[in-house]
Amino acid sequence: MAKFSINLKDGNVEHQKEPIIGIDLGTTNSLVAFIKDNEAYCIIDDQQKSALVPSIIYFDENDQPIVGEQAKSMMALHPERTIYSIKRLIGKSYKDFENQTNRIAYKILDDGLDSSLVKVVVGEKLYNPIQLSSLILKELKNIAEKSLDQNVQKAVITVPAYFNDSQRQATRDAGKLAGLDVLRIVNEPTAASLSYGIGLNKDTKEIVAVYDLGGGTFDISILILEDGVFEVLSTNGDTNLGGDDIDQLIVQHFANQLNESNKTKFHELRTIAETAKKQLSFQDQFTTQFHGETLSIDIQQFEQLIQPLIAKTLVACQRVVTDAVLDIAEINRVVMVGGSTRIPAIKKAVATFFKKEVYDQLNPDEVVALGAAIQADILAGNRKDLLLIDITPLSLGIETVGGLMDTILPRNSKVPNKAGRQYTTSVDGQTTLKVAVFQGERDLVTDNRKLGEFILKGIPPMPAGIPKIDIQFVVNTDGILKVVAKELRSGVAQEIEIKSTYGITEEEMALMLLDSIQNAEKDMKIRALLEIQTEASSVVHSSKKFIQQNIQFLENEEKETLNNHIQLLENAIKVATKDEIQTVMDALNAYATPIAHQMMDVQILEAMKGKKIEA
Ligand code: AMP
């Protein structure tokens, strides 16, 4: 809701605009950013003391979700209740994910189906990736609301440029479920380019390649930046390639060094593998002890392991240059984005490919969220000097006779966009026509992804070849498709927004929303308890420190009473309700505050002893 405030200087009523936040919903970490005084910044969560919120959800024994750092710390202890890498599941069916289940510790429901959304099993409950992503988005929304001290209902969310229609729709639905009106879905490299290009001199023209390797996805895009216009020329990538895969390679490498009983400690190994990977960005060797055995990897072994993965990204780089009809020499800058681009071997390989030093001055973790905040600011009407022109990553078309893909909107077409073609019937008297819509680059539709289908009914019976059926594809700025089919001779028409087979229906969405409203009060209570527990722990910590620092000045009785209060508060943190903790904490504060003032006076007197004040 918009707010009004009164300017105390001149008494004018000012209209405070509704905030629009920018969200980078990552495989590994997520961030929320906002614009203040024309500067984009990532909002720091005061609980977790960082802008990076691990994209991890832990469901406690009462099935209550906990998101972020706290959830991450539960990963080794309760792997089956700790859900990570949700972005790899979004917009997919079980079949899509079937051969990757060995990389996760939690359970996926094996329904053997290719037609329904994949489901994660936690205890007795089933969750789909839209619900899970919405929990992360809700957490980000809460962090923003707390920091801005305002309701937040609008957001821009980034997705990998190479996300298909199903994955985009699923992300948008997750936003809706989290109570966010998703104003725009922006491609991650495009957002990164905004964040990079915003400071550039408007008069210069730059062709920029954005190489974005995160935790689970890889994107490469080429853009032309000129006069405040950010135009994407081409994009390519792999939505299943990232830092997680590197961790997996190291896990295999380590597993070969272990005896049978330790080999299977997959989750502990995964955490160590990520540590090893990060350290190898700065040093040549990593060694550690693991249940009595030694694990080691050196930089040569590491670089050899990841060579095929780097090569895969370079193939995509070659495609993107070819698609943009450019010579490599015409690219002025190669901007590195995503946590995995901290790996020196990756920077080196990319620099060699593009024949120039890469630009790695931006914070690879934050750059996408910052770009999303800039896009939010554009949509809020605050930046009229910037314009984004994005493209569709994959070709869109329909199935024609023989199961062939007939492309209507080729990949790398600018969005929003509209394109169409005319078709006719193949049988005399045919009154219906099935329109099956696919996305992908292959000639046979079976090799591409089916987005949906519908039947145009009521075509007046005519000899084969006579009806003129016009099919129009309309893609909006989010890259989401609407299809309109019309028989021109009779005017029979049908229009549908292609609803992803791997998404959720309006009814399912309504039920989930109802469920989340019913749980909202419970969620709020849990959050309030967690917050007071954290605050009380910090009071315990500082009180203990206070006693230590003033041990020689405190009376015995004061020490004893303080220790009693501390003990009571420690017990309360473990078992008490929010209000009870508050009461015990208030009692400690009430007792300690006058003593703290007294101690300060004593310390000042001590410090002044024998010192004269200069006149
Ligand atoms: P993002 O999705 O952009 O947050 O990237 C997260 C990925 O970056 C994870 O796979 C991290 O393990 C990886 N990462 C973060 N820091 C480093 C580092 N210093 N060296 C190698 N990989 C890193």
Q: Encode pLDDT of 283-331 as tens digits.
A: 999 999 999 999 999 999 999 999 999 999 999 999 999 999 999 999 9
Report CA torsion sign: 340, 344, 350, 355: positive
CATH number at residue 105: 3.30.420.40
* pLDDT (average), residues 246-270: 91
Structural contact between residues 135 and 60, judged by C-beta atoms closer than 8 angstroms? no
Look at residue 421 and tell me if it is in a domain: yes
- Ligand 1 atom closest to the CA of 212, numbered from 1: 3
Ligand 1 centre and the CA of 243: distance in Å? Answer: 6
Range in 234-248, 354-368, 498-512 the model is least confident about:
498-512
Structural contact between residues 400 and 445, judged by C-beta atoms closer than 8 angstroms? no
Most informative mutation of 275, 283, 340, 360 for ligand 1 (most atoms within 8 A of CB): 340
Q: How far apart are CA 54 and CA 51, in angstroms?
A: 10
* pLDDT (average), residues 473-490: 88
* pLDDT (average), residues 256-272: 88
Ligand 1 atom 16: residue of nearest CA: 339
Element (H, E) at 91: none
pLDDT score, position 606: 73
% of the chain with per-residue pLDDT over 90: 57
pLDDT digits (tens, 9 = 90+) for 371-405: 999 999 999 999 888 888 999 888 999 998 778 88
Q: Is the pLDDT at 409 greater than 60, yes or no?
A: yes
pLDDT digits (tens, 9 = 90+) for 130-181: 999 999 999 999 999 999 999 999 999 999 998 988 899 999 999 999 999 9
Q: How far apart are CA 343 and CA 336, in angstroms?
A: 11
pLDDT score, position 585: 93
Residue 558 amino acid letter = E
189 ligand 1 Cβ < 6 A: no
Confidence band, pLDDT 50/70/90 cuts, at residue 499: low
pLDDT score, position 512: 63
- By CB neighbour count within 10 A (0-12 exposed, 13-18 middle, 19+ buried), where does 74 fall? middle
* pLDDT (average), residues 40-51: 85
Among candidate residues 165, 173, 212, 399, the one labeled active-site is 212
Q: Can 212 be counted among the known catalytic residues?
A: yes
**Main-chain dihedrals φ then ψ at residue 458, nearest 5 degrees:** 80, 20
SS3 of residue 237 by DSSP: strand
Q: How far apart are CA 274 and CA 295, in angstroms?
A: 13
395 ligand 1 Cβ < 6 A: no
pLDDT score, position 15: 43
Ligand 1 centre and the CA of 95: distance in Å? Answer: 28
pLDDT score, position 21: 97
Q: Is the pLDDT at 595 greater than 60, yes or no?
A: yes
Task: Strands of 105-228 (E only): list them.
Answer: 107-108, 120-122, 125-127, 154-159, 181-187, 206-213, 218-226
Domain boundary among 474, 493, 518: 518
Q: Can 111 be counted among the known catalytic residues?
A: no
- Same domain? For 366 and 465 the reply is no
pLDDT digits (tens, 9 = 90+) for 198-217: 878 778 899 999 999 999 99
Q: Which residue has better confidence, 425 or 208?
A: 208
**Main-chain dihedrals φ then ψ at residue 38, nearest 5 degrees:** 70, 5
% of the chain with per-residue pLDDT over 70: 90
Look at residue 214 and tell me if it is in a domain: yes
Q: How far apart are CA 462 and CA 490, in angstroms?
A: 11
- Same domain? For 138 and 211 the reply is yes
Domain boundary among 518, 548, 583: 518
Element (H, E) at 72: helix 69-72
What residues are paired with 126 via a beta bridge?
121
* pLDDT (average), residues 186-190: 94
Look at residue 292 and tell me if it is in a domain: yes
Look at residue 147 and tell me if it is in a domain: yes
- Same domain? For 512 and 539 the reply is no
**Main-chain dihedrals φ then ψ at residue 492, nearest 5 degrees:** -65, 130
**Main-chain dihedrals φ then ψ at residue 539, nearest 5 degrees:** -65, -40
Ligand 1 centre and the CA of 338: distance in Å? Answer: 7
pLDDT score, position 582: 93
Task: Determine the structural domain holding residue 81 and report its residue range.
Answer: 5-389
Report CA torsion sign: 329, 332, 338, 341: positive
Q: Is the pLDDT at 365 greater than 50, yes or no?
A: yes
Domain boundary among 469, 493, 518: 518
Most informative mutation of 88, 250, 277 for ligand 1 (most atoms within 8 A of CB): 277
- Ligand 1 atom closest to the CA of 217, numbered from 1: 2
Q: Is the pLDDT at 500 greater than 70, yes or no?
A: no
Q: How many CB atoms lie within 10 A of CB 2?
A: 8
Contacts of 534 (CB under 8 A, 6+ apart): 47
CATH number at residue 471: 2.60.34.10
217 ligand 1 Cβ < 6 A: no
Most confident of 167-181, 340-354, 531-545: 340-354
In the numeric block, the tokens 């005519």 are attached to: 462
Ligand 1 centre and the CA of 139: distance in Å? Answer: 21
26 ligand 1 Cβ < 6 A: yes
Q: Which residue has better confidence, 454 or 221?
A: 221
Task: Strands of 48-124 (E only): list them.
Answer: 53-54, 57-59, 65-67, 82-83, 107-108, 120-122
pLDDT score, position 501: 56
- Same domain? For 233 and 159 the reply is yes
- Same domain? For 529 and 510 the reply is no
Q: How far apart are CA 252 and CA 141, in angstroms?
A: 38
Most informative mutation of 27, 28, 310 for ligand 1 (most atoms within 8 A of CB): 28
Contacts of 433 (CB under 8 A, 6+ apart): 423, 425, 455, 456, 459, 469, 485
Q: Tokens standing for 150?
A: 């305002």
Do you find a cis peptide bond into 416, omega within 30 degrees of 0? Answer: yes
Ligand 1 centre and the CA of 341: distance in Å? Answer: 7
Structural contact between residues 303 and 277, judged by C-beta atoms closer than 8 angstroms? no
Contacts of 579 (CB under 8 A, 6+ apart): none
Contacts of 569 (CB under 8 A, 6+ apart): 536, 539, 540, 581, 584, 585, 588
Report CA torsion sign: 340, 342, 345, 347: positive
Structural contact between residues 462 and 488, judged by C-beta atoms closer than 8 angstroms? no
pLDDT digits (tens, 9 = 90+) for 544-581: 989 998 888 889 999 999 999 999 999 999 888 889 99
Element (H, E) at 525: helix 506-549
Closest listed residue to residue 584, CA positions, set 549, 521, 533: 533
- Ligand 1 atom closest to the CA of 282, numbered from 1: 19
Ligand 1 centre and the CA of 9: distance in Å? Answer: 48
pLDDT score, position 605: 76
* pLDDT (average), residues 525-537: 79
Half-sphere CA count of 579, side-chain side, radius 13 A? 0
Q: Which residue has better confidence, 345 or 595?
A: 345
- Ligand 1 atom closest to the CA of 26, numbered from 1: 2
CA angle 333–198–136, rounded 5-degree value? 100
- Same domain? For 417 and 566 the reply is no
- Same domain? For 459 and 341 the reply is no
- Same domain? For 460 and 476 the reply is yes
- Same domain? For 346 and 213 the reply is yes
- Ligand 1 atom closest to the CA of 213, numbered from 1: 3
Ligand 1 centre and the CA of 155: distance in Å? Answer: 25
Give me the chain's average pLDDT, please: 88
* pLDDT (average), residues 519-546: 79
Confidence band, pLDDT 50/70/90 cuts, at residue 517: low
Q: How far apart are CA 396 and CA 165, in angstroms?
A: 10
pLDDT score, position 18: 86
- Ligand 1 atom closest to the CA of 52, numbered from 1: 4
Q: Is the pLDDT at 90 greater than 80, yes or no?
A: yes
pLDDT score, position 541: 87
Structural contact between residues 174 and 104, judged by C-beta atoms closer than 8 angstroms? no
275 ligand 1 Cβ < 6 A: no
87 ligand 1 Cβ < 6 A: no
pLDDT score, position 5: 39
- Same domain? For 132 and 279 the reply is yes
Confidence band, pLDDT 50/70/90 cuts, at residue 358: very high
pLDDT score, position 10: 41
pLDDT score, position 516: 60
54 ligand 1 Cβ < 6 A: no
- Same domain? For 265 and 237 the reply is yes
Q: What is the gyration radius of the CA atoms in the chain, in angstroms?
A: 29
Confidence band, pLDDT 50/70/90 cuts, at residue 115: low
Ligand 1 centre and the CA of 329: distance in Å? Answer: 29
Ligand 1 centre and the CA of 138: distance in Å? Answer: 23
Q: How many CB atoms lie within 10 A of CB 600?
A: 11
Look at residue 614 and tell me if it is in a domain: no
Look at residue 613 and tell me if it is in a domain: no
Structural domains counted in the chain: 3
Ligand 1 atom 1: residue of nearest CA: 214
Q: Which long-range contacts (CB under 8 A, 24 or more apart) does 381-388 make?
A: 382/35, 385/202, 385/228, 386/194, 386/198, 386/228, 386/229, 386/230, 387/228, 387/229, 387/230, 388/186, 388/190, 388/194, 388/230
Q: How far apart are CA 250 and CA 275, in angstroms?
A: 10
- Same domain? For 36 and 76 the reply is yes
Q: How far apart are CA 18 and CA 63, in angstroms?
A: 33
CATH number at residue 554: 1.20.1270.10
Closest listed residue to residue 86, CA positions, set 103, 73, 69, 74: 103
Residue 162 amino acid letter = Y
Q: How far apart are CA 318 and CA 308, in angstroms?
A: 15
Q: How far apart are CA 583 and CA 564, in angstroms?
A: 15
Q: Can 24 be counted among the known catalytic residues?
A: yes
- Ligand 1 atom closest to the CA of 216, numbered from 1: 2
Model pTM? 0.79
Q: How far apart are CA 297 and CA 283, in angstroms?
A: 11
Among candidate residues 139, 165, 188, 219, the one labeled active-site is 188
